[in-house]
Structure 1
């Protein structure tokens, strides 16, 4: 494995994480609620009095022991790096770009946010630098149950939304559309990148 190949994977992981964090911020600024993890993290942030980004990092880190026990083959440097990068991007975007993002039509911001979340997840997962603990669990469940990854993610997201809502997180069109759309966008992104990588190898 040469340094150039590793470098491309690292860049892909970083870019995907930034897109993911920006997408979450867009969805939150739409006032329609973000994705399922954002709803859960917003509820936790209200509960413990911290930023949504910090609560998101805490969420991912809490799942690491479970992911390590059952799905350790999917873990790597990205397991820690990606959530941190995405959360920093999320907090920075909300802090410095709130007024601009809030000025967008709410449904447009929500739709763009959901698409960015799915694309960002697909890009950083395709880097094979290690999935986040939550995504590792989703991927592991998908493999063990023999179901598409989008179905595994949608089911887990529903559970997170319910818990987040009970903790005070915002539940509007965002989480509902996210549960329906993020999984398929993630899978489409992964398939597109995989095909492109295979074409590059064969040529």
Structure 2
């Protein structure tokens, strides 16, 4: 397999467009990690993949952020038989989110009651949806978990919702058996993350595309 067939090409209307999208990508991924940290600190349950990460962390003694990165690497290995193409965003996703989440856990103290924990979780959920819109709209390739889902959809021919349900249901069960926290926040995440991303993503994408068009026009002779 050639390098070109493994890595997604990087396209941009100008150097400035490329630089701005890279900044948007990095900011989005860092904020995504912050959002995960806030939801973990909320203490009312977390997303299925984070149930897995926290379960592995509890059993291994490793930090949550380190396990989050290791899980991303394992998922990327699963891309190989699926022949998914890797982008800059894919690699940075696997590297940046874990440390950002760990830093948030260091800086944000554990809430003393659910009246503090629930708003932390809710704020983290909204921030995660916004951050997802930022890094997806930057258009540098899917994250490891999203790429696994789309690769399986392409290979199996199953509907997206079936593949996503199987993947997230599996990691949720494994994480729960390992001691990961499942709670009302897990249900809120499952019901709320889709609509929130659906609200943020098209708006951020439209703004990014308009910005790219303006930059392309400004550099024409």
Tell me if 1:172 matches 2:183: yes
CA distance, structure 2, for counterparts of residue 69 and residue 187 of structure 1: 30
Tell me if 1:195 matches 2:206: yes
Query: Cα offset for 1:92?
Result: 0.8
What are the equivalent positions in structure 2 for 1:146-157 lying under 5 Å apart?
A: 147=160, 153=164, 156-157=167-168
Q: How many residues of Structure 1 are paired with residues of Structure 2 in the alignment? A: 199
* Residue pair 1:39, 1:161 contacting (<8 A) in 2 also: yes
Tell me if 1:32 matches 2:44: yes
Query: Cα offset for 1:118?
Result: 2.0
CA distance, structure 2, for counterparts of residue 155 and residue 119 of structure 1: 25
Structure 1 unpaired stretches of 5+: none
Q: Which residue of 2 aligns with 1:76?
A: 87
**Larger-gyration structure (1/2):** 2
Give me the CA root mean square deviation: 2.4
Q: TM-score, normalised by structure 2?
A: 0.79
CA distance, structure 2, for counterparts of residue 37 and residue 81 of structure 1: 18
Deviations 1:28-79 (CA, angstroms, capped at 9, x unpaired): 1111122222111000111211001000001000011222432523x21222
Q: Which residue of 2 aligns with 1:49?
A: 61
Query: Cα offset for 1:170?
Result: 0.5
Q: Which residue of 2 aligns with 1:185?
A: 196
What are the equivalent positions in structure 2 for 1:48-67 lying under 5 Å apart?
A: 48-67=60-79
Q: Which residue of 1 aligns with 2:22?
A: 10
CA distance, structure 1, for counterparts of residue 122 and residue 40 of structure 2: 11
Structure 2 unpaired stretches of 5+: 1-11, 215-221
Tell me if 1:158 matches 2:169: yes
Q: TM-score, normalised by structure 1?
A: 0.85
Query: Cα offset for 1:81?
Result: 1.3
